[in-house]
Amino acid sequence: MNLDNNPPKRARRRSGAVTLQDVAQLAGVAPITVSRALNTPAQVSSDLLRKVQDAVQRTGYVPNRMAGGLASQRSRLIAAVVPSTVMSVFMETIEALNTALMDAGYQLMLGQSNYAPERETRLLEEVIARRPDGIFLIGLLPSGASRTRLLASGIPVVETWDLGTSPMDMLVGFSHADIGRAAADFLIGKGRTRLTMVMADDARAQRRFEAFAATVAQAGLPTVQVINVGSARDVHTGRQALTQLLAQAPDVDAVFCSSDLLALGVLTEARVRSVAVPERLAILGFGDVPLVADLVPALSTVRINGAEIGRLSAEMLIARAEGRNVDQPVVDVGFSIVERDST
Amino acid sequence: MNLDNNPPKRARRRSGAVTLQDVAQLAGVAPITVSRALNTPAQVSSDLLRKVQDAVQRTGYVPNRMAGGLASQRSRLIAAVVPSTVMSVFMETIEALNTALMDAGYQLMLGQSNYAPERETRLLEEVIARRPDGIFLIGLLPSGASRTRLLASGIPVVETWDLGTSPMDMLVGFSHADIGRAAADFLIGKGRTRLTMVMADDARAQRRFEAFAATVAQAGLPTVQVINVGSARDVHTGRQALTQLLAQAPDVDAVFCSSDLLALGVLTEARVRSVAVPERLAILGFGDVPLVADLVPALSTVRINGAEIGRLSAEMLIARAEGRNVDQPVVDVGFSIVERDST
DNA sequence: TTGAAAGCGCTAACAA
DNA sequence: TTGTTAGCGCTTTCAA
């Protein structure tokens, strides 16, 4: 019956890798049976299951998740968009997120915006293009093209490390204004009267500062002096900031820093200048990065349970990816002030 | 001519997102023209290009890279498998890698093995399943199932942060044995005679130690005492290690630590115990993590240009992903000993 | 429990 | 420069 009128087949370069087809052939079953054996083994008789597993072994088959994802509309990928990773306060969160995702069979795709909005926009577009089953964001996504586009994509989103009135979807965070107030109350409670701030140039630190300054003003104390260090967040910058601060406000007796590394710099510079900590100067950090607890003097700081943020976010995103409902889509994990030697 | 004998179409749930098809329809061109307009705009007349761009704008189209990757056999994804990210010496490398990849239009997929071999195996399998255009590894992949499978996949691989005789494919690293020797020579050159090590439990630190100990032995000095701190790499552990070390070798006058954080712990404990640094005890770290340069006393350490490792690796992987050749598939980026106040 | 057919959304190959 | 056709490797849908 071969009429030899096969249409001219277009040759296409195949990847060369073992496919599910190959496994099926070797096992003597249909491709779909291999698919079931791998994804929902309960649906396959133990006899065929064994045959398939054997064939997988012998061929060294590794599934192609691009093909699987395209067909099933599920990528088993969660994307995270974070401002930075180096020595950052977010690392515990990312690590916890990653661990929880892996344990559930999801992969993490990490994108770094470096606190640059235009980079974030591009990144978010690339992220959506991968069709992740969920997206994890540090911070709140301000309204704008990115937010609109993300909303339109229908992908579950969890915003973190902040608290807002209208999250896009889910949220795991805490209030920066509350922290600013608590920090001011804490230092005032210690009898400090000349409060200052050293802060990096980001929106969340700004909100902590505003609440901090307002609380100080309400207490009838002198206006809060603030050193804005721009985008730098390192120890060196913290040291410079204290120098600048002492010139600007020689009677300063307390500094609230927007990150532990800046606080560590202030602490170091204070030691160099023989400014007694905490006697003459109280120093309060932010983040409770692992190392600051074990230094001498140990740094007092605002502690955020970053790991819990990561874990909860993973849980929520996975639930939504699997079609389950999330009872509490907004969680405030709070914060605490850890008092050590520097205050 | 409608004979009405259409075969029964199987309804399939589409994703609902705007597709390239939709854009093509709106622009009044064929789908492939939209594809070209987006991927190789030089191949499309400016007239149609404008029409397509307009249609993309109006529809809010975001390409589906799973579909594109499947069709083109190019995922534009690079996977990195790293032991850890929190406070780790690899962060600069990962950040540089990520930045270089993004700039070239690639996405980074980050997997974390937590120094656990069985986790690494599973992770590597998931990584291959995504069909990345390249794989970045910290360390050398020992022979075994994972290595075989990775080799079989044909995906370009770069191993980093080490130097071996038979890399899988490409390599950007340095010799840990050389570092061990150089560290010993350096400390001996400072007149130290009772050299010790504080190290975490990993293969690369082990090799530094062996070369360090051998060099010390050759110099006719007392056997190197070593405190193995297991998997912990933090400041707290470093402090405990010095306590232990002083009990074990009261006459110790130099410590080489396997990470800067451990060294920082040793430094801190020395201050607490009024052990003069560097007069009575010289401390040498490893990694040159940003913060240690700005502490007082500033830590002497072995500096690795982690950012260069990331940058070079990205360059190589991208070249190979785009079918270009890599002239120098093995690069030794070396190291340097940065002398500061602690020695 | 198993399989056949169709198609996810895109791009390679070929043709005009 | 533009379009037609087929198919990347998998899973959904429907049927047995």
Distance from C-alpha of A304 to C-alpha of A6, rounded to nearest angstrom: 67
Weakly modelled stretches of chain A, pLDDT under 50: 1-8
Q: Note whether A316 and A328 are within 8 A (CB).
A: no
Chain A positions touching B236 (Cβ under 8 A) are 293-294
Q: Would A120 be classed as within a structural domain? A: yes
Q: A128 — contact with chain B (CB < 8 Å)? A: yes
Q: Would B52 be classed as within a structural domain? A: yes
- The CATH number covering residue B35 comes to 1.10.260.40
pLDDT of A112 reads 81
- Among the candidates A63, A88, A119, a domain finishes at A63
Q: State whether the Cα torsion B208-B213-B215-B221 is positive or negative.
A: positive
Q: Note whether B210 and B180 are within 8 A (CB).
A: yes
Q: Would B15 be classed as within a structural domain? A: no
- Ranking B102-106, B154-158, B209-213 by mean pLDDT, the lowest is B102-106
Task: Provide, rounded to the nearest whole percent, the portion of chain B with pLDDT above 90.
Answer: 83
Q: A99 — contact with chain B (CB < 8 Å)? A: yes
Residue A186 and residue A278 share a domain: yes
Query: Could you say which of A126, A131, A290 has the minimum Cβ distance to residue B66?
Result: A131
DSSP A304: -
Q: What is the pLDDT of residues A14-53, one digit of tens each?
A: 888 999 999 999 999 999 999 999 999 999 999 999 999 9
Residue A131 and residue A94 share a domain: yes
Q: Which of A259, A252, A195 is nearest to A229 (CA)?
A: A259
Residue B125 and residue B81 share a domain: yes
Number of structural domains found in chain A: 3
Distance from C-alpha of A147 to C-alpha of A134, rounded to nearest angstrom: 15
Angle between helices A20-27 and A31-39 (to 10 degrees): 100
**Per-residue pLDDT averaged across B314-322, rounded?**
97
- Among the candidates B9, B38, B63, a domain finishes at B63
Chain C positions with a protein C-beta closer than 7 Å: 1-15
Residue A103 and residue A162 share a domain: yes
Distance from C-alpha of B256 to C-alpha of B260, rounded to nearest angstrom: 10
Residue type, A110: L
A14 touches strand C (CB under 7 A): no
**Residue B6 pLDDT exceeds 60:** no
Radius of gyration (C-alpha) of chain B in whole angstroms: 27
Which residues, 6+ apart, have CB-to-CB distance to B14 below 8 Å? none
Q: What is the pLDDT of residues A216-249, one digit of tens each?
A: 999 999 999 999 999 888 999 999 999 999 999 9
DSSP A28: T
Q: Would A11 be classed as within a structural domain? A: no
Q: Would A343 be classed as within a structural domain? A: no
Chain B positions touching A114 (Cβ under 8 A) are 99
Chain A positions touching B85 (Cβ under 8 A) are 85, 91, 94-95
Q: What is the pLDDT of residues B166-204, one digit of tens each?
A: 999 999 999 999 999 999 999 999 999 999 999 999 899
Q: Would A339 be classed as within a structural domain? A: no
Name the H helices within B60-90: 65-72
Residue A271 and residue A124 share a domain: no
Task: Provide, rounded to the nearest whole percent, the portion of chain B with pLDDT above 70.
Answer: 96
Residue A181 and residue A153 share a domain: no
Radius of gyration (C-alpha) of chain A in whole angstroms: 27
Q: Nearest CA to CA, how far is A290 from chain B (Å)?
A: 8
Of all nucleotides in the shown strands, which has a C1' nearest the CA of A9? D6
pLDDT band at B1 (very low <50, low <70, confident <90, very high): very low
pLDDT of A86 reads 65
Residue A145 and residue A48 share a domain: no
**Residue B80 pLDDT exceeds 90:** yes
Chain A positions touching B152 (Cβ under 8 A) are 60
Residue type, A297: P
Q: Would A224 be classed as within a structural domain? A: yes
In sequence order, what DSSP letters do the residues of A241-299 get, joined into one string? Answer: HHHHHHHH-TT--EEEESSHHHHHHHHHHHHHTT--TTTT-EEEEEE--GGGGGSSSPP
- What is the domain extent for residue B102? 76-174+306-332
Q: B154 — contact with chain A (CB < 8 Å)? A: yes
Q: State whether the Cα torsion A64-A67-A71-A76 is positive or negative.
A: positive
Average pLDDT score, chain A: 93
Residue A104 and residue A199 share a domain: no
* Cβ distance of B62 and A94 shorter than 8 Å: no
- Among the candidates A5, A37, A63, a domain finishes at A63
SS3 assignment, position A303 = strand
Chain B positions touching A102 (Cβ under 8 A) are 111-112, 119, 123
Burial A167-193 (b: 16+ CB within 10 A, else e): bbbbbbbbbbbbbbbbbbebbbeeebe
pLDDT of B294 reads 95
pLDDT band at B86 (very low <50, low <70, confident <90, very high): low
Phi first, then psi: what are they for A288, rounded to 5°? 50, 55
Q: Nearest CA to CA, how far is A108 from chain B (Å)?
A: 6
In sequence order, what DSSP letters do the residues of B128-187 get, joined into one string? Answer: HHT--SEEEEEBPPPSSHHHHHHHHHT--EEEES---SS-SSEEEE--HHHHHHHHHHHH
Instruction: Supply B94's token pair.
Output: 């990962």
Q: Walk across the sheet containing B195-199 and list its strands.
A: B225-228, B195-199, B254-257, B282-287, B300-303, B336-338
In chain A, residues 276-335 whose CB comes closer than 8 Å to chain B:
289-291, 293-296
Residue A186 and residue A146 share a domain: no
Distances (CA, A) of A321 to A132, A211, A314, A316, B186: 9, 37, 10, 9, 55
* Cβ distance of B294 and A152 shorter than 8 Å: no
- Inter-chain contacts counted by CB atoms under 8 A, chains A and B: 160
Average pLDDT score, chain B: 93
Residue A290 and residue A211 share a domain: yes
Interface test mutation site (partner B, options A130, A147, A155, A240, max chain B beta carbons within 10 A):
A130
Residue B170 and residue B105 share a domain: yes
Interface test mutation site (partner A, options B19, B56, B61, B87, max chain A beta carbons within 10 A):
B87
CA A304 to chain centroid: 13
**Residue B242 pLDDT exceeds 90:** yes
* List of protein residues whose beta carbon is under 7 A from strand D: A 7, 9-10, 12, 14-15, 17, 19-21, 31-32, 35, 38-39, 63-64, 67-68, 70-72, 74; B 8, 10-13, 29-33, 36, 43-45, 47-48, 67, 70-71, 73
Q: B128 — contact with chain A (CB < 8 Å)? A: yes
- Through-space separation of residue B76 CA and nucleotide C16 C1' in angstroms: 32
Which residues, 6+ apart, have CB-to-CB distance to B72 below 8 Å? none
pLDDT band at B2 (very low <50, low <70, confident <90, very high): very low
Strand C interface, A 17-36, C-beta < 7 A: 29-33, 36
Instruction: Supply A1's token pair.
Output: 């019956």
Which residues, 6+ apart, have CB-to-CB distance to B100 below 8 Å? B310, B311, B314, B315, B318
Region of A212 on the Ramachandran plot (φ > 0 left; ψ -120 to 50 alpha; else beta): alpha
**Residue B4 pLDDT exceeds 60:** no
- The CATH number covering residue B103 comes to 3.40.50.2300
Residue A299 and residue A194 share a domain: yes
Q: Would B4 be classed as within a structural domain? A: no
**Per-residue pLDDT averaged across B305-326, rounded?**
96
Chain B positions touching A84 (Cβ under 8 A) are 95
pLDDT band at B260 (very low <50, low <70, confident <90, very high): very high
Cis amide linkage into residue A297, ω under 30° from 0: yes
